[in-house]
Structure 1
Amino acid sequence: MPTARRTRRRWGLRITAGLAGLVLTVSGAGHAMVGTVTDGLGRVDPFHGLENRPDAGRGLNVLLVGTDTREGLSAEERAALHVGNTACHCADAVLLLHLSADGDRADIVSLPRDTYAELPEHTFSMTGGHHDAHPDKLNAALSHGGPGLMVRTVEDLTGVRVDHYLEISFTSFMRAVDIIGGVRVCTTTPLEDGYSGLDLPAGTHTLDGAKALGYVRARHVDGGSDLGRVERQHRFLAAFLDQVLDSGTLLNPGRLKDTVTALTGSVSADHGLGAEEMLDLARAVSDLTTGRAHFGTVPVADPAHAVTGLGSTVLWDEAGADRLFRALREDRPLPAPPAGETPAGDGTGAATRAPAPTTADEFTC
């Protein structure tokens, strides 16, 4: 296993070369290729009618939502994947991507799906009926009011203005993993969850799309902790990028297009995220290294906060969350937790926290 220093050097060289290759690819192949990709995206309007939004800060904020939709999966595939036949149209993963104004830093902050939230008043998307503001879990915002309610709820919780919205389904996720040849992850302890189909002995494994889905969705390992699930999602995102760079996907226009096309098959985006914006984003991140790509999670006060009618929810540590999102609003690096805080879920009843921000370098095998 490479040392941390060797890993950082390897990552720095490879991600710079890979992203530079991506910029050359999309610029050389031209707007036609990027336009073809964007034409395949589903379109949503998550910003229509939103009022009293947070002020725009420096940098760019993209809300990334993984959904539990089963669209495109056969009954046999649903059974094999342990995803059931009925989707709640909820958010399985919610992340905020912040790209700094100078293009020097990318921060990915996970918002636990079970976060205790106040959903603003809305029109219930399933029936068209009116719902007053009420407490619920964050992931329910998508099923109650679609992308618009999800954006409103996240902005109310964080005070961060969302500039763009991307939503991806199970199907696209698995296709993308398979196209790049699988993703390598490592674990020091066995991971088993009969609900998601996850069954990994301790060690290093290359996951295909189906196994990768179980890895990022499993909720009954790590003591049932939503924070443990978030950390696995961070590890997987870092490993996914590692494999994209290793496979030469970014330097191969045909393979790059196949990979992106697989993703766009079941991806929805806001109308403002077009070909020009994608090109701008590619150019903006062309000089990033993984040492400047950080993963963070909202600090929590109680990872198993019981609420009548909702069950177990994740209650944020208000002071810690305020520090974190103030840094995003002000385009500053993610803050480290103050000294003296106890690890999340230690059972002492003291204020708990999520792990300190981690670079992608530290997540690879």
Structure 2
Amino acid sequence: MPERPRGGGPEDGPDFQWLYGGRGGNGDDQPPPTRPVRRQPREDPRAGTPRPDETQVMRTQPRPGQASRPTPPRPAPTPREPARQPVPPPVDPGRGRSRRRWRPRFRLRYVFLLIVAWLVFLVATPIHAISGMDEIDFAPSGERPDEQPGTTYLLVGSDSRQDLTAEQRKALSTGDASGGRTDTIMLLHTGSGPNVLLSLPRDSIVDIPGHGESKINAAYAYGGPKLLVQTIEQNTGIRVDDYVEIGMGGVAGVVDAVGGITVCPRTNMKDKLAGLNIKKGCQEVDGTTALAYARSRHTSGIGDIDRVRRQREVVSAVGKAVLSPWTVVNPVRWWRLNHAVPDFFQFGQGMGPVRMGLWATAMTRVDGDKGLTCVVPLQDLRVTWDPELAPEMFQTFIDDDTEKVTKKLCSPTGGIG
């Protein structure tokens, strides 16, 4: 094979030999010395100084006769993320310390909702209780006194046994008398002056329209509430604005609904006909005893006069118990009281829940400095009204001027006994 001439081919060139480890251009077999590459400094655009820890990129060296390529711009370095701190392992709450007791979180809105529900209950209960209650048409036809300032209520306690069972009549010692008369007749006036609760004894001798002179309670037996109102208006000149009637069992039912009342007998009282046996002094009684205490007529020398005083005492005590804070706070008592009203009370037409409440409130303001309790001034034990003092007392109601009621006009016995 013929020997290849030296230096004739491209592979014998200096670049080829240097690249593939051939002989150097100096004619020996030693490789050419390595050419040092100058390090290209790179500036950190954030700090303005070279970054010693950054990897340097060597610029490509073009071959002889080859045009150099422009170097593309390098993207700006992204900022380094801060080093993440190691997350500590969860700590067991039971190690090293006692567990905290769980406590319910206090929420104001729960208290607000509870108050709203309570108010709804207080309002809805009386409305539900009286929704089906019948109203009494008490306003008489014909001529009546003109409208007068203030408000005058007629409170009637009926002795009718019609709604009582045989067991109730026996328990309440009411007997089996037929018909219906009024054991209690009271006028309550409220207005600009003190409240006045005025008792009209049931045996008062008055003129009954269409029936002549008789006892005032006979008017109820003859013509019911209308004739009774007409009789009172014509004999007193006072216009009756509202009407409230309590049945025989009403007193007992309401007293039991409020948990009893306090009465203060002035002497030991024992009345077999009324079913009463009670000691002297203030004491708490239930509904049966309270009714007997209010009905008894045979324990005093002035009979019906002393009875109306005790009736006012019972009515006033019931009113105070009804409007005590405990009545509103205790839901059972509130429910029982309101549902006792339809069974034992009847109200005149137009006397809605608001006016019922005003009447109940007025009944509590008839003792001490808040009001007066009186018997109409009497002339004798035959229960004849005093011809001078009685009209003077009635005029204070008509004029709404109860400030003028004096001790001479207002007496617990009507000035008798």
Structure 1 residues 321 and 27: alpha-carbon distance in aligned structure 2, compared to 1, 3 A threshold:
farther
2:170 to 75, 79, 85: 79
Letter in 1 for 2:168: E
User: Which of 250, 267, 283 is residue 172 of structure 1 equivalent to?
Assistant: 250
Q: Deviations over 1:4-55 (max 9, x none)?
A: xxxxxxxxxxxxxxxxxxxx99986576444323324322211142x22112
Q: Using the alignment, how far apart are the partners of 2:149 and 2:289 within structure 1? A: 38
The one-letter code of the counterpart of 1:319 is E
Deviation at 1:266, TM superposition (A): 2.8
Equivalent residue in structure 2 for 1:317, among 382, 386, 397: 386
Determine the C-alpha separation between the residues in 1 that align with 2:196 and 2:379: 22
Shift in CA distance, 337/26, structure 1 to aligned 2, threshold 3 Å: farther
How far apart, in 2, do the equivalents of 1:288 and 1:188 lie?
20
SS at match of 1:318: coil
- Following superposition, the deviation at residue 106 of structure 1 comes to 2.1
Contact 2:269 2:279 in 1 (8 A): yes
In structure 2, what is the Cα distance between the partners aligned to 1:162 and 1:176? 25
RMSD of equivalent CA atoms: 3.2
Counterpart position of 1:119: 208
Structure-to-structure mapping, 1:296-315, within 5 angstroms: 296-303=374-381, 305=382, 314-315=383-384
CA contact (8 A) 2:126 2:338 kept: no
Matches within 5 A, 1:89-168: 89-100=180-191, 102=192, 105-121=194-210, 133-168=211-246
Matched to 2:392, the amino acid is: R
Question: Which of residues 231, 254, 264 in structure 1 aligns to 2:342?
Answer: 264
- Residues 1:232 and 2:310 are matched in the alignment: yes
Structure 1 residue aligned with 2:8: none
Asked if the contact 1:63–1:97 (Cα under 8 Å) also holds between the matched residues in 2, the reply is yes
Taking structure 2 as the reference length, the TM-score comes to 0.65
Match of 1:277 in 2: 355
Could you tell me which residue of structure 2 aligns to residue 353 of structure 1?
Answer: 415
Letter in 1 for 2:134: G
What's the offset of the Cα at 1:248?
Answer: 1.0
Q: Conserved in 2, the CA contact under 8 Å of 1:107 and 1:295?
A: yes
Indicate how the Cα distance of structure 1 residues 337 and 319 shifts in structure 2: closer, same or farther if over 3 A, else same: farther
Q: Deviations over 1:98-152 (max 9, x none)?
A: 111x4x632211110111011102xxxxxxxxxxx31111111111101000100
Residues of 2 paired with 1:281 and 1:212: CA distance?
21
Matched, 1:45 2:149: no
CA distance in 1, matches of 2:351, 2:310: 28
More strand by share: 1
**Structure of higher RCO (CA pairs closer than 8 Å, 6+ residues apart):** 1
What displacement does 1:274 show? 1.7
* In 2, Cα distance between equivalents of 1:25 and 1:90: 43
Q: Does 1:189 align with 2:278?
A: no
Per the normalisation by structure 1, the TM-score is 0.73
- Assess, with a 3 A threshold, how the Cα gap between structure 1 residues 328 and 354 changes in structure 2: closer, same or farther: farther
**Cα distance in 1, alignment partners of residues 259 and 209 from structure 2:** 42
Which SS does the other structure have where 1:203 is aligned? coil
Superposed CA deviations along residues 305-344 of structure 1, whole A, max 9, x for unmatched, are 2xxxxxxxx10102111111100111112622449x9996
| 1:193/1:319 CA distance change after superposition, 3 Å | same
CA distance in 1, matches of 2:276, 2:117: 37
Structure 1 residues 225 and 162: alpha-carbon distance in aligned structure 2, compared to 1, 3 A threshold: same
User: Are positions 1:88 and 2:174 aligned together?
Assistant: no
1:145-177 CA-to-partner distances (Å, cap 9, x unmatched) read: 010001001111211000111111022221111
Closer, same or farther in 2 for the Cα pair 1:108/1:25, shift >3 Å?
Answer: farther
Q: For the structure 1 residues 155 and 27, does the alpha-carbon distance in structure 2 shift closer, same or farther, using more than 3 Å as the test?
A: farther
Q: In 2, distance between residues paired with 1:26 and 1:284?
A: 25
Q: Which has the larger radius of gyration?
A: 2
CA contact (8 A) 2:199 2:308 kept: yes
Task: Please tell me whether the aligned partners of residues 297 and 354 of structure 1 are also in contact (alpha carbons under 8 angstroms).
Answer: no
Structure (1/2) with the larger helix percentage: 1
Counterparts in 2 of 1:52 and 1:25: CA distance versus 1, 3 Å = farther
Which runs of 5 or more residues in structure 1 are unaligned? Answer: 1-23, 122-132, 306-313, 345-351, 356-365
- Runs of 5+ in structure 2 lacking a partner? 1-115
What is the match of residue 63 of structure 2? Answer: none
Aligned to 1:332: 401
Match of 1:218 among 287, 293, 296: 296
Shift of 1:294: 1.7
Distance in 2 (alpha carbons) for counterparts of 1:26 and 1:86: 45
- When residues 87 and 289 of structure 1 are mapped into structure 2, their CA distance, relative to the original with a 3 A threshold, is same
Which AA in structure 2 matches 1:275? P
Conserved? CA contact 1:184–1:207, under 8 Å:
yes
**Cα separation, 1, equivalents of 2:353 and 2:411:** 45
